[in-house]
Each structure stands twice: as structure tokens, then as C-alpha cells.
Amino acid sequence: MQSSAQNNLWNDNIFKYSHIFALLIIGIFFLPIFLDFLKGEDSNFANILDHLGRYKAKKTWLQGFLYVASFFSYFGTQQILILPDAVTILAERWPYYLVWLTIFIYMGFSLYKRKNEPTIDSSFERYFLGIIIAALILSIVWAKRQDGQMFNFNGFYIFSIPYCILLIFASRFASQIKFSLNHSLRLAIIAGTLTSFLVFTSGVNQDNIQIMTQVSQALQSDPNGNNPKKLLVNNDNWPIVVSVAVALKRADVPFYVEPKWGFLFGEKNVLKEDNHLPLSLWSISARNNQNKAIPFIANTSIIINPIQD
């Protein structure tokens, strides 16, 4: 009885200010959105409203569904999902979906089994699952309204949805296993050993080193040296150009892009009409044998063309 009373007191103290903490977290979440809203016509909010008002060529519901479903198989080239054989392409990744189907069945059965147990944990899981379902539906609607090809532009957000589902699955699975102290200690040691092994054997990210080295070579080959660069961006090469832009920023070399790409690279990096600095035009294309081309990642090359005013 004493232990039960202590637990109730502890829970009362923990949840006494839970709503205040929740409001604080929500406020922190909305702060960057509010600051962006203050930018007026240059804000993302204004761009979204403009897009919703003028965009006509919508994708189908099937394409929107396949786009979101592709993230559950950790698919990275969503732009091919507008092809007629998109269903066949994803069907080839059936082992992923089989695992997810097993997880969904287990979670559904587990939550149904606890429907008459109005505990804090089960209530939280149901609310959390409701948020996830809403996020999935809104993601399908968002994918349906994508402009142009269906790139994984919103991938960081949609990839978080499977992760959140796995959190609920882990919570359900762990709650049904009775741990002893010795058992828990063994699991912690095994998990720590495996994690340490993966961390120490993964080594240094060689791609980042390669990118910085190749961009440094391009700067040395550029007749304009460390003067600003104009980066040519299109729907096919923007992920590679982002890598170049990050490397230039780390090297303290200014870069500019066309105004329509300001939303991705930042408005301060939009090329202004009154810019008369000596620029070099950097374009990224498939690797070839041009003498001026600097080999870059993903079998591409950086082609440098100084612009003469």
C-alpha cells in the first residue's frame, strides 16, 4: 500500500504541470513558423497560398498514395513513381511491406486488446496513432499536389512517420515482456556493444571528405578564384548542387542561384540584377571527358565557365 501511494504521489507531481510543458513545446514548434509569417509576401506561408491558388495539374490519388508508401520501403528516387509501372517498381520491394504489414497487425491486435484498459499509456498511444494517421493522410494530399516531378523533397518529414510507428510498436512490444534486472542488464550490454561496433566500424564519412576535396580542386581551377559562383540548378541535379553549395559555404565562398530556387538555397543567395562582381558559372552534369570538368560525386562533373562583364 505504501509503495502504491508513493507511485501515485510521484505521478501527481510529474503530471501536475504537464499541460504547461505541452504548451511550451507547442510554442517552440510554432515560433519559426510565426517568424516566417512575419516576412509577408516572402514567407513560405505566402508561397504555399500562392501555390494552392494557381496550381492546376494535380497528381492522381494513386500516385499520391504510392509516393507516401514508397518511404516505407526506404525508396529514394520518388520521381520515377509517375511512370505507368510505378506499382510494379514498389512491388519489387515487397519484403519491406511484408514486415510493415506484420507490425501493423501486431499493433492493431495489441491496441484492440487494451481498448478496455484506460491507462495513461494506452490513451497516449491512441492519440499518438491518431496524429500519425492524420499525418499520413495529409502527406498523401500533399504528394497529390506536388508541382512537376515527384521528388523526395519532403522526405525528412515523411520518413519520420515510419519512425513514429516503430516507437509505438517498440512500446507495445516492451510492455509485454517481463524484465528482470539481470535480463535488462544483459540486453543493455548487448545493445551497447552492437551500437559501439557499428559506430566505430562505420568510419569517417568519406563522401563529405570527397565533396570538399573536389570543390577545392574546382576552386583552384577557376580563373576567378574565390569570387562568387553562380550555380545552375534544375529539377534533375538540385540534390548534387546542394552538396556543392554546402561545400562552398564551408569554404567561405559566396554563391548565387536563380530567383526561383531561393526557397531552397536561401533568399540571400538569390542573384540580384545589380550584382556586377566577376562571377563563375558552375554547372553540374553527367561526367564526360571535357578538360575543364572537375570529377564530382554520383558520376557527375563540375563544369566551370568564367563570366566576363
Is the pLDDT confidence value at 7 over 90?
no
| CA–CA separation, 234 and 236 (whole Å) | 5
Give 8's pLDDT tier (boundaries 50, 70, 90). low
**Can you say how many angstroms the Cα of residue 98 is from the centroid of all Cα atoms in its chain?**
24
pTM for the full model? 0.55
Could you tell me which of 86, 223, 73 has the C-alpha nearest to residue 150?
86
Alpha helices in 118-261, H assignment, sequence order: 120-144, 155-175, 181-202, 206-221, 238-250
Could you tell me which of 257, 280, 260 has the C-alpha nearest to residue 269?
257
| CA–CA separation, 225 and 306 (whole Å) | 10
Cell numbers placing 303: 563544369
**Domain residue ranges in the chain:** 12-54, 59-176, 206-305
**Tell me, what amino acid is at 201?**
T
Residue 280 CB coordination number (10 Å): 23
Tell me the three state secondary structure of residue 28.
Answer: helix
Render pLDDT for 207-264 as a digit per residue (tens, 0 to 9): 667 788 888 888 888 888 888 899 998 877 888 888 899 889 988 999 999 888 888 8
Q: Higher pLDDT residue, 32 or 273?
A: 32
SS3 per-residue string spanning 222-250: CCCCCCCEEECCCCCCHHHHHHHHHHHHH
Render pLDDT for 116-148 as a digit per residue (tens, 0 to 9): 665 556 677 778 888 999 999 999 988 887 766
Cell numbers placing 5: 501511494
Give 271's pLDDT tier (boundaries 50, 70, 90). confident
Q: Higher pLDDT residue, 123 or 290?
A: 123
Is the pLDDT confidence value at 55 over 80?
no
